[in-house]
Amino acid sequence: MNSNNNILVKLNNAGFRQSEKWLVEGVSLTVEKGKIVTLIGPNGSGKSTTAKIALGIYKNIEGTVEKYTTKVGYVPQKISIDWTLPIRVYDFMLLTETIEDSAIDEALSLTGVIHLKNKNLGSLSGGEFQRVLIARAISKKPELLVLDEPVQGVDYTGEIALYELIKKISDTLNCGILLISHDLHMVMKATDHVVCLNGHVCCSGSPIDVAKNNEYKALFGEKASQILTTYEHKHDHVHSDEGEIKKN
């Protein structure tokens, strides 16, 4: 019963078909409070589709989605905004929910774009816009955060900082995160559960389990597996140092 209360969204054998072609099928996964679930897989493997099924954007799906929260923050992979609409970063932050100014400022500061608050959304660079998207999703203090390649277009140092921020948000807000990421280092570092997709769930489990899985190796190659296992080794090492956390 207690564990049930922590469930935010649960997919049971879910799939979505578009004009007779399965985009993804047979996906079962659960996102719980305070946990990060990461979807990995090659292009076209159904990662974004799975996220959209979980969010309820796709309606005519196979299987079922049980959703236990309405407080959702979403960072879509592709966003096309029509610039006939004059809209500042500030207006964009208030798009789906009325939030206090202090919360807006805090979120924009966390993602490092507070100086852009009164800029027109159309004038931002790709990386800046991505930071604003993340800020918008976290500023509403959601229970469920769905991040579809949230750091695309962000410079390398910014990428690390943003991933650390996402991990921190998961801890402080105790929200569940469904993350789509290509960055296997990140997957290793913070994820509780990895689901490897290739049109269907090819394997899932803790990052280290997935790394050792043969199907995963077949899909991503031996190198990718080494990244995960190597990281796990370092991870153990850092933890054996008493209380001290080293960054590599």
Partner 1 sequence: MFDDFFIRALIAGIGIAFVTGPLGCFVVWRRLSYFGDTLSHSALLGVTMAYTFDLNIAISVFLISSVIALILIQLQKKTNLPGDALLGLLAHSSLAVGLVVIGFLTFIRFDIMGLLFGDILAVTTDDLLVIWTGGALILIVLKLIWKPLLASTVNYELAEAEGLNPDRAKAIFTILMAAVIAISIKMVGLLLITGMLIIPAAMARNISDSPQKMVLFSIIGGLLSVILGLYSSLEFNTSSGPSIIAAALILFILSLFKIKQSIKLKN
Which 119-138 residues touch partner 1, going by CB under 8 A?
120
DSSP state of 83: T
101-110 vs 126-139: helix axis angle to the nearest 10? 130
Determine, following the binding rule CB under 8 A, whether residue 72 of this chain makes contact with partner 1: yes
Shortest spacing between CB 12 and partner 1, in angstroms:
20
Estimate to the nearest angstrom the gap between the alpha carbon of 85 and the chain centroid: 28
Estimate to the nearest angstrom the gap between the alpha carbon of 46 and the chain centroid: 14
Determine, following the binding rule CB under 8 A, whether residue 70 of this chain makes contact with partner 1: yes
Determine, following the binding rule CB under 8 A, whether residue 74 of this chain makes contact with partner 1: yes
Shortest spacing between CB 219 and partner 1, in angstroms:
27
**Euclidean distance between CA atoms 41 and 30, whole angstroms:** 18
Shortest spacing between CB 101 and partner 1, in angstroms:
15
Q: In this complex, which beta carbon is closest to partner 1, that of residue 67 or of residue 235?
A: 67
Which 75-94 residues touch partner 1, going by CB under 8 A?
76, 79-82, 84-88, 90-92
**Which are the contacts of 108, defined by CB distance < 8 A and separation ≥ 6?**
89, 93, 114, 116, 117, 132, 135, 139
Q: Which residues lie near partner 1 (CB under 8 A)?
A: 52, 55-57, 70, 72-74, 76, 79-82, 84-88, 90-92, 95-97, 120, 140, 146
